[in-house]
């Protein structure tokens, strides 16, 4: 029995360390978000005075990370040999493990079952996709047009003369305002499509794609001069492939974590029951 309890405590310590590490990582992400002011501009996205959403964005990671870290520390302390307040620490840790179990298994089920179906087959299969495609066509007509002169570097021009033939561009490096993306055009008003613009900016930067149903000649929403990184495919195709390829992997990782935290629930109960049994035996032996 002692060997089993030692094994159980080792497993709880490992899982508690894992939870505490996750908490620290989330805290670091929160500090990065807070001090670098990254994230979506909620005021533009929802057209309201959404300062409370920005505050939530800035501090939610820090608060959540600290809470998760404390849960991990409670598990570490509770799995030590005869610590004070062991039952309280293990109960707090068990609640956290239960929350992680539900969260991980739920997300694992969703990603494994639905990651292949999130985008469907057609690039205009949903209203949102149609809006994205429409916004891209409007941006393509406006950028480097007569009412929105774009800035391209001399090297970009030398390597892509035919691409910019007939376009309204400048290579003047002394310009105070250099328009390298459609968002900088004074006449461009995305209105309700602000979320689509933000998504396309991320897709162009991370997946090196352009357009939605069909690829555009160059980046519209990130940096027009970053043309050498363009792989020539549409963002619908690249985003769909990315979600499908990573969805399965993340699903199995989350499922493994869910099983680990589920085992912890059983192990913590076993530790508490064993301790209670030992106390009862001591009472029977020495109580009289």
* Residue 84 CB partners (closer than 8 Å, separation 6+): none
Q: How far apart are CA 270 and CA 288, in angstroms?
A: 28
- The more confidently predicted of residues 54 and 28 is 28
- Tens digit of pLDDT for each residue in 15-50? 788 888 888 888 887 777 666 654 444 344 333 444
| Residue-level pLDDT at 42 | 39
CB–CB of 265/101 below 8 Å? Answer: yes
What is the end-to-end Cα distance of the chain in Å, rounded?
A: 26
Tokens 């774009």 sit at which residue?
150
Q: Extract the tokens encoding 22.
A: 């996750």
At 192, is the pLDDT very low, low, confident or very high (cuts 50, 70, 90)?
low
Average pLDDT score over residue span 60-80: 82
Residue 49 gets the label, from left (phi > 0), alpha (psi -120 to 50) or beta, of: beta
Q: Where are the domains of the chain?
A: 2-117+244-286, 127-233
Q: Which helix (H) or strand (E) holds 169?
A: strand 169-170
CB–CB of 83/89 below 8 Å? Answer: yes
Q: Which of 50-59, 111-120, 238-247, 256-265 has the lowest mean pLDDT?
A: 50-59
Backbone φ and ψ for 151, nearest 5 degrees, come out as -110, 125
CB–CB of 234/60 below 8 Å? Answer: no
- Tens digit of pLDDT for each residue in 95-153? 887 888 888 888 888 888 777 666 767 787 778 888 888 888 888 889 999 999 999 99
The model's pTM is: 0.60
């Amino acid at each position: 029995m002692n060997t089993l309890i030692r094994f159980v405590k080792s497993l709880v310590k490992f899982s508690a360390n894992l939870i505490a590490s996750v908490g620290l990582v989330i805290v670091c992400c929160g500090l990065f978000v807070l001090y670098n002011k990254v994230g979506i501009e909620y005021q533009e996205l929802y057209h309201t005075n959404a300062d409370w959403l920005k505050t939530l964005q800035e501090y939610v990671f820090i608060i959540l990370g600290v809470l998760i870290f404390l849960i991990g520390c409670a598990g570490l302390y509770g799995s030590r040999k005869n610590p004070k307040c062991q039952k309280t620490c293990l109960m707090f840790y068990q609640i956290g493990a239960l929350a992680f179990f539900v969260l991980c298994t739920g997300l694992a089920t969703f990603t494994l079952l639905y990651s292949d179906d999130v985008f469907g087959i057609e690039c205009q299969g949903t209203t949102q996709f149609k809006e994205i495609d429409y916004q891209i066509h409007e941006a393509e007509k406006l950028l480097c047009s007569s009412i929105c002169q774009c800035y391209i570097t001399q090297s970009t021009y030398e390597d892509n003369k035919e691409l910019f033939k007939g376009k309204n561009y400048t290579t003047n490096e002394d310009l105070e305002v250099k328009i390298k993306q459609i968002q900088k055009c004074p006449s461009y008003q995305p209105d309700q499509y602000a979320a689509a613009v933000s998504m396309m900016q991320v897709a162009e930067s991370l997946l090196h794609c352009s357009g939605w149903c069909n690829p555009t000649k160059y980046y519209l929403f990130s940096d027009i001069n970053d043309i050498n990184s363009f792989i020539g495919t549409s963002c619908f195709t690249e985003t769909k492939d990315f979600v499908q390829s990573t969805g399965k992997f993340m699903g199995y990782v989350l499922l493994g974590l869910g099983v680990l935290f589920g085992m912890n629930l059983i192990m913590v109960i076993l530790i508490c029951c064993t301790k209670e049994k030992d106390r009862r035996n001591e009472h029977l032996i020495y109580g009289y």
